[in-house]
Chain A
Amino acid sequence: NAGVTQTPKFQVLKTGQSMTLQCAQDMNHNSMYWYRQDPGMGLRLIYYSASEGTTDKGEVPNGYNVSRLNKREFSLRLESAAPSQTSVYFCASSEFTEAFFGQGTRLTVV
Chain B
Amino acid sequence: AQSVTQLGSHVSVSEGALVLLRCNYSSSVPPYLFWYVQYPNQGLQLLLKYTTGATLVKGINGFEAEFKKSETSFHLTKPSAHMSDAAEYFCAVIHRGSNYKLTFGKGTLLTVNP
Contact = CB atoms under 8 A, between A and B. Distances in A.
- Is the pairing of A and B real? yes
Interface stretch (B14-22, B55-63, B98-106): B98-106
Interface of A: 30-31, 33, 35, 40-43, 45, 48, 50, 90, 92, 94-97, 99-104
A96 B100 contact: yes
B94 A97 contact: yes
Nearest to A32: B102
Contacts of A102: 43
A42 B100 contact: no
A95 B36 CA distance: 16
Contact of A99 (B34, B42, B106, B107): B34
Nearest to B92: A99
A101 B49 CA distance: 15
A103 B32 CA distance: 23
B29 to A, nearest CB: 13
Contacts of B99: 31, 50
Interface string B36-56: 100000111010010100000
Nearest to A101: B44
Contacts of B105: 42
Given A92-B102, A94-B102, 17 more contacts: A31-B99, A31-B100, A41-B106, A42-B90, A43-B90, A43-B107, A45-B103, A45-B104, A50-B99, A50-B100, A50-B101, A90-B43, A95-B100, A96-B32, A99-B46, A101-B36, A104-B43
B107 A94 contact: no
10 contacts: A31-B100, A42-B106, A50-B100, A97-B32, A99-B34, A99-B46, A101-B43, A101-B44, A102-B43, A103-B43
